[in-house]
Structure 1
Amino acid sequence: MAVTRSDLAFVKSATVTDTDNNGGRKSYIEVPNRARFNLFPRVTRPERVNGKTRYRKEFLWNKNAANEIAYGVLAYILYPSPAGDRFYLAKGTQTDTQGDIDGSYKWCGGGALHSDVTAGATQISVEFESDDFHIANGMTIAINSHFLVGQTIMSGVRAFDAVKFDSTQGMWVKESAPDTDSEDIYPYGTYLGSNKVFSYNDNGELEYLTVANDKYSGEVIGTGDGSTKEFTDTLEHPPVEPNTVTVYYTISGATYSGSDDGEGNISGTNISSGSINYTSGLVHLVFTAPPDSGTQITCNYTKRAYSWSGYVCTIDLAEPVANDYLAANTFVGICVPIGDIKPSHSDVVINSTNGTFNHTLMTEDNRGTVEDDWTITFTSATEFTCSGASEGSVGTGNITSSFSPINSNTGQPYFTIPPSAWGGAWVSGDTITFKTHPAAAPLWWKEVVPAGIGPYSDNGVMLEIYIE
């Protein structure tokens, strides 16, 4: 068996505010699909006038009852907001809050294909809503042409309503799919406004591509003559990815290296000043002593596989596009890499002279396991209590029987410890501490409302999930 769409649910974070404590652990409150204001509140008139940036955290929860793993998960914004605001998506942690958000968070997004693409192409251009979306070498992007344009829509259907194509009437009508796994599979779809419908159909294509990550090494940027200290040269393959530049040089018979700091500066032993223009590839080095005569100054670096022109990003690909795509009905999402979604435990610490505990025999549950720090405290040679820093006391156990404390919110165990996990001799006061982690991936959303935008009644954004 495998994890299906119906096994997945989005749930809110435990705290939902516009303050620094917004976010935190997973809650059990589901975010309903297609419901208006299901995660973000209405944008008020003062916010439209003055501008507003707002954050919300949600978790993609793998609730598969057979405890199957959701492998290789990717999340991406496929269809951006049609209103004047814009949305970003970034990976979070199980406990981070809005106050923890800093410059290390990578805010990804999606946009429309800027120009038609022919199969075999190794470069695409995407038009975003801004030029501050994160993209990097080696990332995965999704390109999807299952958007139907110029459609006939029944009166009364609003943007982001579930729809079905009624062949008798020759138009899309408001109707939900019979089950979760049938959503957005033709003849069902989602109306996006402007006579556009998203629906997986026989004429559309979807593929996942890798952003190029071309590395170059040993490129000669100068030759020492025993007296010259200053060298300038332009690298052959600009633009250059920051934090990938290393220069090598020989002075007094010893080989040294210098590197860039991501801000355009190059430093290293015997370098008094150095710089790299990441866009043009121009390298300038001044040494404290001249490189040895006849020795080469070389550079290793990685070509930046993307470039911006306004809000259009041109992206080099590691492999050719397999299909033709029209800009009129194709959108591209920059994928947030989530990885496998499964419950787990970590940080096991045993405080006992003679007791042993084989934590590899402990199991977790997709629906019951939570993020918590647990302490098991022995009250005798065989009996113990258990409590979590967040969940509190979850009862008592005995090493002669299986211990499976139940999460009252789901009716499933937080974890299970079989009798075979225990060994040695335990005494009252011995403890075991460990952490558990849920089968849920934390994601942060950021909404930016620019000052001065107009009202838009049927706003929304489309997030898509990939599972291997």
Structure 2
Amino acid sequence: MLQAADIKFYHSDKAANDGTCGGRMNELSQIVSGVKYAVFPAVTSDQRASGAGIFRKIHMANRNGETPPEPAYNARFAIVGDSNGGDRFYAKSGGYADIKSTLDTSTGWTGGGALHASMSAGATMIQIAFPANDYDVPNNRYLAIMDTSNRCWVKTADEAVTGESAGTGEANYSVSLVSAPVDEGTLKVHYTIGGNTYMAVDDGSGAVTGVNITSGSINYNTGLLTLQFNNQADDVTCDYAQRCFSFSGNVATVKLGEQVPYSFNSADTTAGVAVELGDLEASLSVMQKTSAAGGFSVGACVLKNTGAAYDEITIMFTSGTAFSAAGLYEGSLGNGTINGTYAPLNKRTSVPLFSIPASAWSGVWASGDVLEIRLIPAAKAVWIKNIIPAGTGHTAINTLKTLWHVD
């Protein structure tokens, strides 16, 4: 049975202040809560004076040791509350092996803040005072809310608008959509020209494009939609999702898709937007098989949470029964045979990365045949960004409060 103690957090392979930061999970470097500099390094006086942005990638892992391992479902991680040091923290999901130089550092960052206004049980709206107004609050995303006595997870709203009329019989349109603000990337404009029906879409950055549209734009905050067609357009209608939040200064008013189960007082309550990670479960899959008659059953393989590490592994047959194997990250994994169990070790944990029994092989394999498999660990990555504004003062102990959940 899965226990709370089975969920652990680990550093990545590389903790650096450059583009190489990140990589795979380092199973030998567990993050211990409450330890100074557990995730981020000390901020220098130069960084406080001129400002800085520091990135770190951590991994939420299911280390349940049963065989077969117990999955951890619907994992989520949230920063709840803001920093006590004048800096800001943000989070977003990461890949199994990505590094900062390949990360989209500009969008999709969530975080937490203080409850701005007290609310009663049954409320369907929350106001959160974030450290700044650049935090993302996606539709249909869990929020974590906690005080000294209670904690809960509630979903943000996800309200769809369909068939809203923008007019007919014109070449140029300028209308304000009724249910603004509009969620970026959800707008679909339907229209008819010369008896043919078309659909235009927004690009998530405010531009609207489609057949016979010479220019189009949407102001997501106000809902102002402008469209210029190269001919008369009839029956113009819009589908979109209403964005669940709006900022006034650094305070976000967020519509909820369900009721808050407890009353919360603004004096001692914090809240944050979850990074939703999915299931923490080790898996093995076939990327490619190059063989005329050889067969392979993934379902016959055995995995352990404490052994599986992200890798792409190439198995090259040197005869009808023997093969050599190498991982993209693990390197050489030695030799094996289809007549016995092949169980190469994770070099950091001394537990097999995976076990392939003889029963997994079928058909006729031949020298030169290749099997490429992908190994996924029972872990998911979270990027955390620390923004230190220029002129930030010194803080002896800066804390970051987080909350996690699995089913």
Return the TM-score normalized by structure 1.
0.82
1:214 match: 159
Residue identity in the other structure for 2:282:
P
Structure 1 residues 9-32: Cα deviation after superposition (integer angstroms, max 9, x where no partner) = 211111111121111111121122
Residue identity in the other structure for 2:171:
K
1:367 match: 306
Residue identity in the other structure for 1:17:
A
Alpha-carbon offset, residue 103 of structure 1? 4.6
Return 5+ residue gaps in structure 2 as ranges.
none
C-alpha contact (below 8 Å) 1:402/1:417 kept by paired residues: yes
Structure 1 residues 248-278: Cα deviation after superposition (integer angstroms, max 9, x where no partner) = 2222222223222223332322323333222
- Work out which of the residue numbers 168, 179, 200 in structure 2 matches 1:237: 179
Residue identity in the other structure for 1:378:
F
Report the 3-state secondary structure (helix = DSSP H, G, I; strand = E; otherwise coil) of the residue aligned with 2:359.
Answer: helix
C-alpha contact (below 8 Å) 2:48/2:388 kept by paired residues: yes
Alpha-carbon offset, residue 229 of structure 1? 2.5
2:87 match: 85
Report the 3-state secondary structure (helix = DSSP H, G, I; strand = E; otherwise coil) of the residue aligned with 1:48.
Answer: helix
Report the 3-state secondary structure (helix = DSSP H, G, I; strand = E; otherwise coil) of the residue aligned with 2:34.
Answer: coil
Distance 1:50 1:217, change over 3 A: same
Q: CA RMSD in A?
A: 1.8
1:261 match: 203
Distance 1:398 1:246, change over 3 A: closer
C-alpha contact (below 8 Å) 1:375/1:433 kept by paired residues: yes
Alpha-carbon offset, residue 442 of structure 1? 1.2
Which structure has the larger Rg over C-alpha atoms?
A: 1
Residue identity in the other structure for 1:20:
G
Residue identity in the other structure for 1:463:
T
Distance 1:431 1:284, change over 3 A: closer
Ranges of 4+ aligned residues in structure 1 off by more than 6 Å: none
Report the 3-state secondary structure (helix = DSSP H, G, I; strand = E; otherwise coil) of the residue aligned with 2:397.
Answer: coil
1:169 match: none
Alpha-carbon offset, residue 104 of structure 1? 6.5
Report the 3-state secondary structure (helix = DSSP H, G, I; strand = E; otherwise coil) of the residue aligned with 1:413.
Answer: coil
Alpha-carbon offset, residue 448 of structure 1? 0.7
Kindly indicate whether residue 217 of structure 2 is the aligned counterpart of residue 278 of structure 1. no
Rounded to whole Å, the distance in 2 between the matches of 1:408 and 1:236 is 59
Percent identity, aligned pairs only, is 36
Report the 3-state secondary structure (helix = DSSP H, G, I; strand = E; otherwise coil) of the residue aligned with 1:443.
Answer: strand
Between 340-349 and 436-445, the greater mean CA deviation after superposition: 340-349
The total of aligned residue pairs comes to 404
Rounded to whole Å, the distance in 1 between the matches of 2:293 and 2:157 is 54
- Work out which of the residue numbers 407, 420, 424 in structure 1 matches 2:346: 407
Structure 1 residues 72-124: Cα deviation after superposition (integer angstroms, max 9, x where no partner) = 00000113211111111111111111111225752111111100111222111
Rounded to whole Å, the distance in 2 between the matches of 1:375 and 1:267 is 44
2:55 match: 55
Structure 1 residues 257-314: Cα deviation after superposition (integer angstroms, max 9, x where no partner) = 32222233323223233332222222233322223xxx53222121111000111000
C-alpha contact (below 8 Å) 1:383/1:399 kept by paired residues: yes
Distance 1:273 1:408, change over 3 A: closer
Structure 1 residues 144-187: Cα deviation after superposition (integer angstroms, max 9, x where no partner) = 12x2xxxxxxxxxxxxxxxxxxxxxxxxxxxxxxxxxxxxxxxx
1:447 match: 386
Residue identity in the other structure for 2:393:
G
Between 448-457 and 363-372, the greater mean CA deviation after superposition: 363-372
Rounded to whole Å, the distance in 2 between the matches of 1:306 and 1:109 is 14
Alpha-carbon offset, residue 466 of structure 1? 0.4
Residue identity in the other structure for 1:288:
N
Rounded to whole Å, the distance in 2 between the matches of 1:351 and 1:324 is 60
C-alpha contact (below 8 Å) 1:348/1:359 kept by paired residues: no
Rounded to whole Å, the distance in 2 between the matches of 1:396 and 1:380 is 12
Return the TM-score normalized by structure 2.
0.94
